[in-house]
Amino acid sequence: MTADLRQIYFLHIPKTAGTSLRKIIEAQFEPEEICPCSVMQELADVVRRDVSELATYPVIAGHMGYTLLSLLPTPPRVITMLRDPVARTISRFNYMRLHAARSGRAPWGHNRFLDPDVSIDDFLAFEPTRRLITNFQVRNLAQDFDLTKTYTDFSGNPIVPKMNKLFAYTSTGLSDHDLLSRAKRRLASFEFVGVTERFRDSLDLLCSTFGWEGTMDSPFLNASSTSLGLARPLSNQTLADIQACTSLDAELYRFATEIFEHNFSGHFPFAS
């Protein structure tokens, strides 16, 4: 632990290289210091059982968005990573496509994903998955969920409180302006903001911020290509469609990059 003994929460936004970062964070702690709750469904179970147990762990990490913070008695030191929203959308599509191919099960009950020729345009055209990527990073920071409540899908059927289901089937109830403003305000309060496209620099900044030991074998992720992992480059129309779905994420990503650059120059003033 560092001199600052406040609890640490790694708010892991899916498909932002967070799995790599999470391993580095958790390496700084003993296994029993790490909260075993790491996804929204598990968090809902804790809320029903005894929410006070969350405060007993020095570090919490996982896909639980900003919702977790409202359940802690003391504000933690928050760590998060953001990614270029076009690259993140492509990564999310690739993950779903590969998962369907390996499992033989159609995500969201949409059999088109079982077709080896499924395209990212199919992903964008299907309403639940389109909603899943629509300003997903902004919603991770700005949307709060009451995990004692039962949420439903478009047909009124109860859904398991998994993050992807909640984001696909619920509305924020906020205007775009208010949604983005809330996300920016919350992001600005975090102890550490990294960007996937600067992963190695983000790792250096993280370790410098918390006084942690780095690791030389940390993976390098280049997520800058807009055709990453696709059979063919994005068409102009598809790119425009993704950008329309992620316009608020693009604004938040620019804001995150500004925060990162400011903090990085403060810790490494002579870096080129």
Q: Residue 217: its pLDDT value, please?
A: 58
In this predicted model, what pLDDT tens digit does every residue of 68-93 receive, in sequence order? 999 999 999 999 999 999 999 999 99
In this predicted model, what pLDDT tens digit does every residue of 191-234 receive, in sequence order? 999 999 999 999 999 999 999 987 645 554 444 344 466 767 89
pTM of the model: 0.92
Inform me whether the pLDDT recorded for 148 exceeds 90: yes
User: What is d(CA 97, CA 226) in angstroms, rounded to the nearest whole number?
Assistant: 17
- The answer to whether the CB of 105 falls within 8 A of the CB of 96 is no
Please give the helix or strand (H or E) that residue 203 lies within, else none. Answer: helix 199-210
User: Average pLDDT for residues 136-165, to the nearest whole number?
Assistant: 95
Looking at the structure, give the CATH architecture of the domain made up of residues 8-267.
3-Layer(aba) Sandwich (3.40)
Inform me whether the pLDDT recorded for 2 exceeds 70: no
Which sequence spans correspond to the domains of the chain? 8-267
| Coil, strand or helix at 158 | strand
User: What is d(CA 218, CA 200) in angstroms, rounded to the nearest whole number?
Assistant: 8
Q: Which residues pair with 194 in a beta bridge?
A: 81
In this predicted model, what pLDDT tens digit does every residue of 230-263 receive, in sequence order? 767 899 999 999 999 999 999 999 999 999 999 9
- The answer to whether the CB of 40 falls within 8 A of the CB of 169 is no
Residue holding tokens 């063919």? 232
In this predicted model, what pLDDT tens digit does every residue of 58-69 receive, in sequence order? 999 999 999 999
* Sign (positive or negative) of CA dihedral 170, 176, 180, 186: negative
Total Cβ atoms within 10 A of residue 119? 16
Q: Please report which confidence band the pLDDT of residue 109 belongs to, taking 50, 70 and 90 as the band edges.
A: confident
User: Average pLDDT for residues 98-106, to the nearest whole number?
Assistant: 88
Q: Residue 4: its pLDDT value, please?
A: 77
Q: Residue 106: its pLDDT value, please?
A: 85
Q: Please report which confidence band the pLDDT of residue 111 belongs to, taking 50, 70 and 90 as the band edges.
A: confident
User: What is d(CA 249, CA 90) in angstroms, rounded to the nearest whole number?
Assistant: 14
- 271 or 100, greater pLDDT: 100
